[in-house]
Amino acid sequence: MRVLLCPDKFAGTLPAQEVAAAVADGWREVAAGDDLLIRPLADGGPGFVAVLAEALGGRRLPVPTVDPLGRPAAGEILLTDDGVAYLESAQACGLHLLTAAERDPKATTSYGLGLLVAAAVEAGARTVVVGLGGSATNDGGAGMLTALGVTPLDQAGHALPYGGAALAAVAALDGAPRLRGADLVAATDVDNPLLGLHGASNVYGPQKGATRADVLLLDAALERFAAVLERELPGCPPGLGALPGGGAAGGLGAAILALGGRCESGIGLVTRAIGLDAALDRADLVITGEGSFDHQSLRGKVVAGVAGAARDRGVPCVVLAGRVSTGRREAAAAGVTEAYSLVEHFGGEERGGVEAAMGRPAEGLRALGARLARQWSR
Ligand SMILES: Nc1ncnc2c1ncn2[C@@H]1O[C@H](COP(=O)(O)OP(=O)(O)OP(=O)(O)O)[C@@H](O)[C@H]1O
Ligand SMILES: O=C(O)[C@H](O)CO
């Protein structure tokens, strides 16, 4: 039997590779002879580089960088033989790098991502693919641009402080981007535009700590910044504020577009790179999953995408998640055959299941892997 294991991360508890490895361990305890295809997934957010490194090979280069508050952070670039560098915004801008009290998109900066891009260019990359998502920043990529040699200035010609709020005073740019002709690609987790009701500040600002008043201020500041980028960067497309993907990672998508780059779907890029379609064609059972399997998952691109693709091929698809809150019927309509939760596995919410699920996720996934093998292996 051929089983395809292609989970997303369990945000906050386990990276996608460890989810897949734990389920595989459990399955093999019961049915060692089965053929397990392990293809962890990512959508541009945390884990993008690690997932691609496993699938593509190449050289992993550690690069010291800074976090959204300017403190040292560990970054990494994946360099492949064909001159493509892959890096991820979450390593420098990630929400997971801050405590809840530190979250403030008025002040957080994407400067650290600029250091990673600069290092990729320095290492000779001809194309730099930047995974976007899971960020704590809403600075329209202003910090990244600064690290690449383009400094936002106020009316008096002074460099602006870091953070999204300062862009309310942006009037001009100084300098030219140091990219040595490299092409930029944003691999985005969402296709929201930079501005407006569906834009970065309104939709993702609150999860980064923005109040209602902050959201209004940040959206207006980004509008002003977009006008400056359009006016001063020769490669910037018109109508920057409305372009799909521009609102990913607090407007980093728009900054990459402004530098003459393009945006594409992160999960689309990852599934192509790892050959997911071919793996699905060969599978007798698909196991996917994520931290929280909820109504958002059914509209999202990772788990819903896998389940839909499995259904199209008539292959059963099982979801394993930390918690499950979808109805059976709506999950079935999306192509999900069965869904299991770690919280239930550990006895349910009333019996300490949440603490156990959060504290010992790999143990629970191993047990669920064994249970699925007992049920499905033939
Ligand atoms: N081991 C676990 N046990 C129980 N719940 C978990 C576990 N790991 C993660 N979660 C829950 O899942 C949530 C994260 O959901 P998930 O992994 O689906 O990502 P997300 O936040 O929806 O981000 P994305 O949009 O990138 O998928 C956490 O906030 C937590 O509530
Ligand atoms: O980082 C963010 O702002 C969200 O994940 C959307 O890209």
CA of 368 to the centre of ligand 1 (A): 17
Task: Decide if 149 contacts 198 (C-beta within 8 A).
Answer: no
| Minimum-distance ligand 1 atom for the alpha carbon of 357 | 3
Question: pLDDT of 94-149, one tens digit each?
Answer: 999 999 999 999 999 999 999 999 999 999 999 999 999 999 999 999 999 999 99
Q: Please give the distance, rounded to the nearest whole angstrom, from the Cα atom of residue 92 to the centre of ligand 1.
A: 20
**Strand locations in 106-261, DSSP E?**
127-132, 151-153, 172-174, 183-188
**H helices within 154-238, ranges in order?**
200-204, 212-232
Q: How far is the CA of 319 from the centre of ligand 1 (A)?
A: 13
The residue ranges of DSSP E strands in 89-205, in sequence order, are: 127-132, 151-153, 172-174, 183-188
Torsion angle of the four alpha carbons 326, 334, 36, 322, in this order, in degrees rounded to the nearest 10:
-10
- Flag whether the pTM goes above 0.95: no
- 172 φψ region: left (φ > 0), alpha (ψ -120 to 50), beta (else): beta
Encoded amino acid at 217, one letter? L
The Cα diameter of the chain in Å comes to 73
Tell me the ipTM for this assembly.
0.95
Tell me the backbone φ, ψ of residue 70, rounded to 5 degrees. Answer: 85, 10
Secondary structure of residue 203 in the 3-state scheme = helix
Q: What domains are there in the chain, each with its CATH number? A: 2-39+275-376 (3.40.50.10350), 48-267 (3.90.1510.10)
- Supply the pLDDT for residue 296: 86
Pocket of ligand 1 (CB under 6 A): 8-13, 45, 290-292, 322-323, 342-343, 357-358, 361
Ligand 2 atom showing the smallest separation from residue 247 Cα: 7
E-state strands within 253-312? 262-265, 285-293
**174 Cα: distance to centroid of ligand 2 (angstroms):** 27
Report the nearest-CA residue for atom 10 of ligand 1: 291
Q: Is the pLDDT of residue 298 over 90?
A: no
Nearest CA to 92 out of 78, 77, 104 is that of 77
Task: Give yes or no for residue 134 CB within 6 A of ligand 2.
Answer: yes
300 Cβ inside 6 Å of ligand 2: no
**Atom nearest to 138 CA in ligand 2:** 3
For ligand 2, say whether the CB of 133 is within 6 Å of any of its atoms.
Answer: yes
**Ligand 2 pocket: which of 135, 188, 264 to mutate (most atoms within 8 A of CB):** 135
Chain center to CA of 23: 22
Is 144 in contact with 117 (CB distance < 8 Å)? Answer: yes
Atom 11, ligand 1: residue with shortest CA distance: 291
CA quadruple 271, 27, 368, 46: dihedral positive or negative? negative
pLDDT tens track for 156-195:
999 999 999 999 999 999 999 999 999 999 999 999 999 9
Distance 48 CA to ligand 2 centre (A): 13
215 torsion bin: left (phi>0), alpha (psi -120 to 50), beta (else): alpha
Q: Which two tokens stand for residue 49?
A: 């580089």
Ligand number with the minimum distance to the CA of 94: 2
Question: What is the number of the ligand closest to the CA of 46?
Answer: 1
DSSP letter at 104 equals -
Q: Which of 132, 139, 194, 201 to mutate to test the pocket of ligand 2 (most atoms within 8 A of CB)?
A: 132
Q: What is the pLDDT of residues 219-259, one digit of tens each?
A: 999 999 999 999 999 999 999 999 999 999 999 999 999 99
Ligand closest in space to the Cα of 43: 1
